[in-house]
Each structure stands twice: as C-alpha cells, then as structure tokens.
C-alpha cells in the first residue's frame, strides 16, 4: 500500500476510534492498539511532511504558544437566556409562548456548568472556534479547542456550518488535576467550571491538551432543518457529541416531569449542571414569539436552587481580621457543594450561633451563599446523640490572648491589642491588595513569608524592602529578576492617589468609595488630624460611624508617626483630582457596570470612569446615566432598559475612552 493511502487509512481508523471512545463512550479497540496506530501515523507524517493535513489526529496536541487572543465577531449573536426558578415561573413562560403561537413543542436539555463556544466548519473541515464573550465579540480559541478530542476536525457535511456548545471538565478529570496541583504544592481549582475556563484560556495549547476538556454540542446553524430536536439528532449523526439526556416534550407539564427526574440523578452525573434549558422546537415560530432587548422569548433556563448539603461540624475555629474582629468559622467534615469541596463555613457571630442553637459535633445543613461563600443554615437536631458540645464564645484573642470586647450595639467581638500579630498581617495583606494600594507581586503568600521572616512588620517596612535586596535575591524561589520587579512595583505605587492610601490603611468603615469621598474633600492626609467628628460627619455620604472611626484613627499618636514616616519614604499623601483639569463624557455622570467584560476587569473599568470624572454605582436608578454591559449582565440590564438608561457595550465604552 502506498504511503498516502496508508496515512488516510490510519486517519480514518483513528477518527472512528476517537468517536467511539470520546463521543459514544464505547471503544472497540484497546488503548494499546490506538496508541500503536497513532505512533505509526506520527512516524509516517514526520517522514512525509507534505502529507500532513490540518485534520490529522496528530494535530490535536496544540499549535504554537500565543501571546494573546484575537477578537472575533459572531455572525449571529450568542444570546444569553432568561432564568426561571420555580415551576410557577416556568408555566408563566409557557403562557407567554402560548399567547404568541398556538401549536408548538419543546426540546429540553441539561444546563452544563461550563463555558459557551462557537465552532465553524468549512468544506467539512474544522475552521475556527471562539468564546461567547459579550455575545457579539468573542475571543479566538481555535488552537485550544482543537485539543478537545470529542470535537471532530473533519465532518461529513460540506456546507458552511456553525455549531455551538458548552465546554466542560468532568468531575473525574477535575479531581485528577487538583491532585496533581496539590502534589506540586500549587493552589487547586475551586470547581470544574473555573478549571475549564482557566484551561481554555491558556496561551499554550499543549497545556490545554493535558487538561482533557470535553464538550456537548447543543445547536447548529447551516442545517436545512426547522426543528430543534431534529437538529440535535442530525449533529449527532454528523459526529458531534450531544448530551444523551436531551429530550423532546409535548408540553410544559412533560418538561416539569423531566426536571423532577433530573433532580434525582443530578449528583450521579460526571459533570456539573446548574439547571435545564427549555427551547421551543419549531424554529419557524421564533420570529413570531420574538425577543426582549436581551433574551429570546422562545427559550428559558430553569435554575436549580443553591445546593444544600448535610455534613458534620467537627469544631469551631476563630479567625481574626485586620480590624480585630473575631469571626467563628465551622470546621466541617469535607463535602462537595455545587462542584467545590467545602471544609469550612461561616458562622457569622455569637448571636447567629445561639439563635440557631448550633453545637459542636452537630450535623448541619450547609450551602453556598450566592453560590460562592459556604454558610451553615441550620442544625439537623433529630440526629443529635448527646455527645454534642454547646457553643461558648471565647473570651481571649486566639493569637495574642488579649481580652476580647463586644462593642455596644454590635454582634461582633474585637481584639483591641494594637500589637496583635494576626491584625498586623491581615492589615498588610489588605494594604498591598489590588483593591487597595495594588502592589503587583506582593500577594498574600509572599507577604506572609516576609512577615514571618521579619522583613515586613509594618506598612512602612513595605517601602524599605529595597534595603534587603541582596538577602532576598538569594532566597529559594525568588531570584534577582523577581525581586527587582517587586521593588520596582513598590516604588511605582508611591505615586498612588490619597484615596488608595486611606483605603489601604484599613480604617474601620472606610471602604474604597468612602476613601475617595474623603480624599476629594480633604486633599492632604494631614488635614484629617485636626478634624472633629462633626466636621467629618458633615461631608456628604459620611455617616456617624465612619466619622467617629476616622476621628479615632487620626487621634492615635502611633498612626500619625507611621503616616509621617510614609511621607518621608516618598509615599504620596495628597489627592490629585484629575477631574478638575478637563471635562469628559463621564464628568459628573453615574455609571453602573454589569456582566463580565472582555478587555477590562471590573475594577479597571471603574478606575477609568472615575479618572474621567464619573461615579460608579452598584445599582440602577433614574439617576443613572450609563450602564456598561458585559457578558451575562443580569437584572441591572433589564432595569436600565425599563428606565431608558443609555446602554454601552464594551466597544462603545472603548470609543468613549479614546475620544475622551
């Protein structure tokens, strides 16, 4: 057999075996046989490079390492879906569909907790893949998606085709990756979705290939079929991996029955889901059913409520924050909640624990508040055996043993020892954080190490770190370049505006926004030394608690001495209000940011708006001037539309910045 024919034969076999293994989960040959064929193909292609083609199975290892992801515009916007959270809301959705059309059916599939992808094929060959982005613009991840083995590089369909799906990481591979990270003393991923999102955006496709990502395809543009369920079946026939739990339903009650069944087997799946997606089957009805300004009216997502899990609380630990506040934390028998392994959960304060009669060794119900922070909800009192231990609030600081004080009209206890080690370290971590003084490279781990070894004990010590340069560059894991980069970042941070310094100092009740308000009124930090509580309270948006806290801070001699030392070290202690110098499109305007931006972090966008004279608010009202919208914007977008507020997408925002 000639070489070209043998290469084509092996490619055909490998593609078939990959389809059986990765899509059908029903391999017909052993791993050894597959590997032998792959090695033969690699050898033949290396000897005959002119016969190597882009659709070859050998090309899945990934291309060259890139330095960024190019932006691509979707031919058809990748719309997000509206959400419902109850069967009553689902029936209301159905009533709205029924008002628009008479005869229709539904396709229902699982809502995979991953990230959306668009993949294009031309002449049967894999052409391009892109993230959803903001729905209009995405990022080109062609080389990375090529490494996903369940995605065919060649299909039996020659017309232009765009398929859309959800990239995910199986629970099995998630656990394997985290075990490897822990063994390498690296921070493990928090959940499979974060791991998948982080993997697909690696600049090196070879790293992506090692993560064993997977995908379910749920839609296709370019097929001459006008029925969504039939499109799924055709995509499966062509060779795409579709979810086997996708079903056809005659009416909304069948949909509800399906959701009830999903609840029963949800935790048995090897991938995370957070709901189900319901779509009208008949594509020719979509235009008649219509769209809102943001969502299609012919589809919705039913979201499961936050998962609640029962586990045993083994102990109660106490954490101390930078302000000296003591927080009780439940130490749990580790349990999986919403895709993450949880071993600790907040108990808030003494009153919270006593109101719920929580004992050590209780079985407790835990959930993620807002799907993020684990919290103890209640006790399974029926499981008490008598060995449980009633809670008693500690009387002394767990770090310095100082007496704790519960302040009037507050539920929290405080360590008031100004020399407490834990308060110092937490305060330093806060000072250097991105939200405060934003010193690049001085993160929690490095700060803790430098603190324990005596290099940084105070905020002033941060700006003296250069004096330890020769010692630091010899430390394991650092080196000359990394230490010089850190010293340069510290030096550059000295130019930060006064509001950054005020926030970084950790004054109680002074967050980033309050610090900006204070700095705009009193533009030199030394002005605060002589202000009375009444003078502070007269500043707009400054309440009594904040004014008293600021007054108490600047009354202490040791704080004034530290600030004086910071100034002597070259730290800026004044506020330069750049808004005074020129008016911009955002001057005196109120902006709300919602959704995930592509080219900016939310904090970066906020800083740009404020630098251009605008104010960033967290809620939409009739006083809002602009709403900057990213990916998956949420209810703030809907409220802005209802109030007639000007909507900015990211491109429009960049244009406004450019033009000033």
497 token code pair? 């505006």
Do 469 and 533 belong together in one domain? Answer: yes
Query: Residue 61: what pLDDT?
Result: 58
The CA angle 271-277-283, to the nearest 5 degrees, is 135
When divided into structural domains, the chain yields a total of 5
Q: Summarize pLDDT for 244-260 with one digit per residue, the tens.
A: 999 999 999 999 999 99
Q: Does any domain span residue 76? A: no
Domain with 511 in it: what CATH number?
A: 1.10.150.20
What sign does the dihedral 228-230-236-239 (CA atoms) show?
negative
Domain with 586 in it: what CATH number?
A: 3.40.50.10190
Return d(Cα 609, Cα 607) in angstroms, integer: 6
Domain with 33 in it: what CATH number?
A: 1.10.287.610
Choosing from 303, 325, 343, the residue where a domain stops is: 303
Choosing from 357, 392, 413, the residue where a domain stops is: 413
**This prediction's pTM:** 0.55
Return d(Cα 187, Cα 178) in angstroms, integer: 8
Spell out the SS3 assignment of 492-522: HHCCCCHHHHHHHCCCCCCCHHHHHHHHHHC
Q: Would you call 408 helix, strand, or coil by DSSP?
A: coil
Return d(Cα 87, Cα 497) in angstroms, integer: 52
Do 209 and 326 belong together in one domain? Answer: no
Q: Does any domain span residue 468? A: yes
What sign does the dihedral 515-371-295-163 (CA atoms) show?
positive
111 token code pair? 């809502």
**Closest C-alpha to 553, from 504, 508, 594:** 508
Do 89 and 232 belong together in one domain? Answer: yes
Do 257 and 357 belong together in one domain? Answer: no
Do 407 and 312 belong together in one domain? Answer: yes
Over residues 604-613, the mean pLDDT reads: 81
Q: Does any domain span residue 179? A: yes
Query: Residue 96: what pLDDT?
Result: 95
Q: Would you call 349 helix, strand, or coil by DSSP?
A: coil
What number of helices (H) and strands (E) belong to the chain? 24, 24
Query: Residue 580: what pLDDT?
Result: 46
Choosing from 257, 280, 303, the residue where a domain stops is: 303
Q: Summarize pLDDT for 160-172 with one digit per residue, the tens.
A: 999 999 999 998 8
- Find all residues with CB under 8 Å of 186, minimum gap 6, and list them: none
Do 230 and 281 belong together in one domain? Answer: yes
Higher pLDDT, 402 or 581: 402
Do 346 and 249 belong together in one domain? Answer: no
The CA angle 349-352-355, to the nearest 5 degrees, is 145
Domain with 188 in it: what CATH number?
A: 3.30.470.30
Do 403 and 436 belong together in one domain? Answer: no
**Closest C-alpha to 285, from 301, 299, 298, 266:** 298
Report residue 371's pLDDT band, with 50, 70 and 90 as the boundaries. Answer: very low
Do 279 and 406 belong together in one domain? Answer: no
Alpha helix ranges (H) inside 494-618: 498-504, 512-521, 533-537, 544-555, 557-568, 602-611
Q: Cβ(363)–Cβ(330) under 8 Å?
A: no
Higher pLDDT, 54 or 377: 377
- Residue 531 phi/psi, 5-degree rounding, is -80, 145
Query: Residue 341: what pLDDT?
Result: 73
Q: Does any domain span residue 463? A: yes
Q: Does any domain span residue 73? A: no
Q: Does any domain span residue 574? A: no
Q: Does any domain span residue 575? A: no
Query: Residue 55: what pLDDT?
Result: 76
Burial degree of 204 (CB within 10 A; 0-12, 13-18, 19+): middle
Report DSSP letters for 439-466, one per residue. -TT--HHHHHHHHHTTS-SSHHHHTTGG
- Find all residues with CB under 8 Å of 552, minimum gap 6, and list them: none
**Closest C-alpha to 644, from 619, 617, 626:** 626
Report residue 1's pLDDT band, with 50, 70 and 90 as the boundaries. Answer: low
Residues composing the chain? 660
Higher pLDDT, 235 or 433: 235
Q: Would you call 395 helix, strand, or coil by DSSP?
A: coil
180 pLDDT above the threshold of 90: no
Active site members: 111
Q: Does any domain span residue 452? A: yes
Do 600 and 560 belong together in one domain? Answer: no
Query: Residue 186: what pLDDT?
Result: 66
Return d(Cα 281, Cα 141) in angstroms, integer: 30
Structural domain that includes position 232: 83-303
Do 548 and 637 belong together in one domain? Answer: no
Do 367 and 469 belong together in one domain? Answer: no
Report residue 237's pLDDT band, with 50, 70 and 90 as the boundaries. Answer: very high
Q: Summarize pLDDT for 82-124 with one digit per residue, the tens.
A: 889 899 999 999 999 999 999 999 999 999 988 999 999 999 9
Q: In whole numbers, what is the pLDDT of the chain averaged over residues? A: 86
As a whole number of Å, the CA-based R_g of the chain is 29
Q: Summarize pLDDT for 343-369 with one digit per residue, the tens.
A: 888 898 999 999 999 999 999 999 875
Percent of the chain whose pLDDT exceeds 70: 93
Query: Residue 67: what pLDDT?
Result: 52
Return d(Cα 477, Cα 222) in angstroms, integer: 53
């Amino acid at each position: 057999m000639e070489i070209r024919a043998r290469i084509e034969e092996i490619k055909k076999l490998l593609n078939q075996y990959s389809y059986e293994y990765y899509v059908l989960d029903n391999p017909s040959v052993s791993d050894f046989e597959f590997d032998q064929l792959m090695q033969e193909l690699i050898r033949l292609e290396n000897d005959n490079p002119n016969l190597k083609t882009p659709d070859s199975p050998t090309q899945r290892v990934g291309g060259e390492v890139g330095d960024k992801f190019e932006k691509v515009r979707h031919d058809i916007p990748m719309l997000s879906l509206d959400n419902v959270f109850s069967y009553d809301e689902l029936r209301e959705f159905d009533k709205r569909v029924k008002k628009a059309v008479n005869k229709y059916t539904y396709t229902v599939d699982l809502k995979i907790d991953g990230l959306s992808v668009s993949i294009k094929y031309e002449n049967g060959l894999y052409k391009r893949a892109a993230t959803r982005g903001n729905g209009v613009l995405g990022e080109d991840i062609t080389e990375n998606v090529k490494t996903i083995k369940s995605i065919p590089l060649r299909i039996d369909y020659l017309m232009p085709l765009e398929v859309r799906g959800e990239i995910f990481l199986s629970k099995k591979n998630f656990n394997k990756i985290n075990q490897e990270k822990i063994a390498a003393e690296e921070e493990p991923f928090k959940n499979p979705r974060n791991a998948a999102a982080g993997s697909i955006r690696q600049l090196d496709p070879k790293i992506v290939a090692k993560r064993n990502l997977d995908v379910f395809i749920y839609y296709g543009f370019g097929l001459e079929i006008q029925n969504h369920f039939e499109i799924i079946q055709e995509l499966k026939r062509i060779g795409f991996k579709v979810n086997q739990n996708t079903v056809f339903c005659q009416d909304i009650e069948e949909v509800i029955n399906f959701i009830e069944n999903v609840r029963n087997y949800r935790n048995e799946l090897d991938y995370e889901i957070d709901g189900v997606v319901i779509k009208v089957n008949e594509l020719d009805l979509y235009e008649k059913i219509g769209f809102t300004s943001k969502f299609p009216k012919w589809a919705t997502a039913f979201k499961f409520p936050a998962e609640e899990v029962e586990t045993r609380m083994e102990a109660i630990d106490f954490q101390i924050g930078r302000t000296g506040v003591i927080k009780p934390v439940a130490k749990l028998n580790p349990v999986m909640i919403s895709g993450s392994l949880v071993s600790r959960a907040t108990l808030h304060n003494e009153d919270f624990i006593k109101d719920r009669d929580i004992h050590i060794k209780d079985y407790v119900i835990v959930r993620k508040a807002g799907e993020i922070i684990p919290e103890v909800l209640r006790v399974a009192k029926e499981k008490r055996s008598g060995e449980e231990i009633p809670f008693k609030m500690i009387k002394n600081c767990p770090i310095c043993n100082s007496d704790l004080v519960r302040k009037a009209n507050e539920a929290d206890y405080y360590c008031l020892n100004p020399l407490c080690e834990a308060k110092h370290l937490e305060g330093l971590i806060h000072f250097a954080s991105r939200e405060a003084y934003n010193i690049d490279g001085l993160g929690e781990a490095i700060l803790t190490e430098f603190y324990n070894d005596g290099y940084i004990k105070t905020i002033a010590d941060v700006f003296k770190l250069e004096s330890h340069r020769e010692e630091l560059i010899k430390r394991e894991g650092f080196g000359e370049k990394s230490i010089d980069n850190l010293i340069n970042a510290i030096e550059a941070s000295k130019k930060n505006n006064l509001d950054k310094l005020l926030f970084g100092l950790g004054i109680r009740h002074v967050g980033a926004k309050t610090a900006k308000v204070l700095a705009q009124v009193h533009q030199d930090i030394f002005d605060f030394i002589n202000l009375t509580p009444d003078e502070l309270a007269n500043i707009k948006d400054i309440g009594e608690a904040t004014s008293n806290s600021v007054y108490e801070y600047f009354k202490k001699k040791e704080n004034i001495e530290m600030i004086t030392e910071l100034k002597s070290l070259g730290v800026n202690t004044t506020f330069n209000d750049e808004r005074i110098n020129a008016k911009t499109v955002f001057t005196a305007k109120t902006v709300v940011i919602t959704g995930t931006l592509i080219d900016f972090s939310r904090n970066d966008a906020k800083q740009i708006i404020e630098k251009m004279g605008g104010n960033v608010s967290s809620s939409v009202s009739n006083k809002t001037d602009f709403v900057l919208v990213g990916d998956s914007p949420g209810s703030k977008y809907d409220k802005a539309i209802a109030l007639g507020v000007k909507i900015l997408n990211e491109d429009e925002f960049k244009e406004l910045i450019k033009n000033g």
